Structure formats: C-alpha cells, structure tokens
Amino acid sequence: MHESSAQISHAPRTDHPPWHTHHGTPTMMTKNTPEKGRATHMCTRVVWPDANGSVIVGRNMDFHMDLLTNLWKYPRGIERTDGVHGTLAWKATYGSIVATAFDLVATDGMNEEGFAGHILWLAESDYGKPEASATQLSQAIWLQYYLDNFATVAEAVAWTNDTQVEIAQLFDPTGHLVPTLHLAINDATGDSAIIEYTDGKPQVYHSRDYKVMTNSPTFDKQLELVTQFDGLGGDKSLPGSTLASDRFARASYYVEHQVQPKTQVDAIAAMFSIIRNAAQPFRTPEPGKPDASQTIWQVVLDLTNKRYVFESTTRPGIVWVNLDELSFSEGSKVLRLDLVSRLMLEGGLAGNVSHSFSDVGEAATQVLATGTQALEFVAKKQDEFAEIQEVVQKLVGAKK
C-alpha cells in the first residue's frame, strides 16, 4: 500500500480544549452545521471486546420517526457500484445481514466474518464537494461497501487510508433533512474504528480502546469530555441526560465495569442493560426540539459467535438471527425478514428467526429498483435542483 495523507488517529488527541440500496443511490453534497434545524438524531454504539472470549456490540437506533426497519440477507457475489458515478464497482466478497431504513438504506449490519458496521448521526459532518477523480461512495452504500469487502477493521482502515475515499451526501428533494453521518466499525478480534468527515477527508480513529461512539461533538472532543467523570479520570458524578456526551460517559463507564459473563446469554443481557441506560425515552417535544429522537430499536451483536439480536421499542419484541444457519453462497437469494408487519407484542415473531426470511419476489424487487433509479436521477441533477430551490426560496421570500 502506498503512503497516503489520510488522517489516522490511534490514541486520544489532547490538542483540543451518527445510506445502502440494491441498485444505486441518491447523492448530494452540502455543508451542515451542528444543531441546526428542527430534527435531532441520536444513537449509541458500544463494544465489549473481552466478554469471556466473545466480542459483543450494542447499538441504539434513535430517530424522530419510524424507519420501517426490516432485516435483509445479502449473499456473496452481489454486484454493486458506488452510487455516485459508477466508477467504483465491486462484487461482494462476504455475505451480510443488515438492518435497513425503508428497505433501501443499510443503517447497521454484520457480515459472515464477524465484521460489523453502524451508521450514526454527527451534525458536524462536512463531506466537502468530492472531486470527480476521487474514489467516492454515496452515504447510502457507505456501510454496505465495508460489509461486502472487509473481514477486519485493519483491512477497512488500510483501504480508507489508501484511497482517501470521499463521501457524497444523500439528496433530499424536500430540503428538510440532509443526512450528516459517521461510521463505526468493529470486528471479531475486538478491534474498533470510527470514521468521521469534518473537512471533506476521512478522520479515522483506530484503536481497540475506542469502545463507545454517540453523536456530537466529534470523537476527539468526546474523548476529552469523558475524562471529567468519576471512574473515567475525573471526579464528577456520571451525568444523566440524553445529551450525546452524557450517553458517551455512561456507556463508557458501564462497559468498563462489567463482570465476566458465564454464558452468551449473560453477555447479551449485560450489553442490553448498557445500551438501555443510554437509550432515549419516548417523551413530549422538548423546547426547540419538536422532532427530538427516541430509541426506536436496539441491536446486540455477538461478533464471535455470529449472532444478531434485534429488539424493537415501537413493536415490542426480540428476535435473533444466527448467521451460521443461513446460506450466503453466491447465487443464493436475497431474502428479507419482515419485522414491520410480523414483529408484535402478541402472536408475532419471537426468538430464533434465522429461518423466517423470505424472498420478496421479482415484482417487489422491481418496485424498489425503480424507486431507487428515480432518486438516483434526481441526485445526478443536484446542481440544477439547487438552483431551482434558490429561485423558489427567493420568490417565496418576496411574497411575504
């Protein structure tokens, strides 16, 4: 690998005082600033790398609306492109299980090697405007690329470093919400990395010690803030709010204060207890935050034993998938586990659902493909739409 200018961090910095599609993806480049707009989106990811021989990961999905999440099984051999210009194309080396938003966007997942990734919100994200000659990935395919191609965090970090991959943002024709995201990755060895973009280039924080990721501020500043709390380097009591920095502190504390589990069930139960402590409760709107997020689902992954556990808070129920019970062989079908209609408190899916996936059929696949292609067309016309939006906004302003 040739030397590159990627920004790689392997230890806490001391110099400073949170989409995938089948056939393509929409993109848009825009600059965002922290805490602007009506919606606030939050999530938490925690790694327990030494749970009596297993690597256990927990993640909360916090959002202000139902994402209609289902689980999908993708086999090896699927051909995909970058969702931008199609310059980067690949054939999936590894099969994966992913949790989607609206059956289009991969938000969380694990591949058959025990490599996992988690997309979370980061308001400070600034992807710049990627050069046409740069290696690019749409936000929609960002996570899936990593799941398709890497078995370890070290491989993923090396590729990110080598290519200086740039990220193209999703296009939102309503102008209401443009995703600003960062990516956490972890593997069956217990390794971990966080990838953020604040100046158009990847800032990679790579260390087995980086066990927690939430949202704002950026990861380097989170590492500084957390040291003020008792048990983490300071003398302040653990904070109790839903602020990302407070959730970061609580998750960091509790993952470091676990007894060794006797069984896999003990390990999974312990991780659920940690991420529930960092969850966002259902609540009335807060002042200035009418669309504040709530925890809508949680997952716990056993990267060692390849188990993916899903719990919904909006459709109360808990299910799990054992990856070794599924076929990821090339040529096998893409399958969906319908959680939206089948996960419920009474009479719904429960327990091991590894054999409950089904083929959605050619018609449904075509509908998804058509919708994706339409959005992709809009994304390619982003400059024209931006000009139209500016004109419309001026006209609206003139009429007030």
Residues annotated as part of the active site: 43
Q: In one letter, which amino acid is 76?
A: R
Q: Kindly give, in sequence order, each residue whose CB lies less than 8 Å from that of residue 231, ignoring residues fewer than 6 positions away.
A: 238, 253, 256, 257
For 227, the 3-state DSSP assignment is: helix
Between the alpha carbon of residue 232 and those of residues 50, 235, 336, the distances in Å are 19, 8, 42
The span from the CA of 357 to the CA of 354, in Å, is 7
Q: How many other C-beta atoms are found inside a 10 Å radius of the C-beta of residue 160?
A: 23
Instruction: Respond yes or no on whether the N-terminal peptide bond of residue 217 is cis (omega within 30° of 0).
Output: yes
The span from the CA of 245 to the CA of 222, in Å, is 6
Six token digits for residue 291: 């669309």
What's CA 281's distance to the chain center, in Å?
20
The span from the CA of 243 to the CA of 291, in Å, is 15
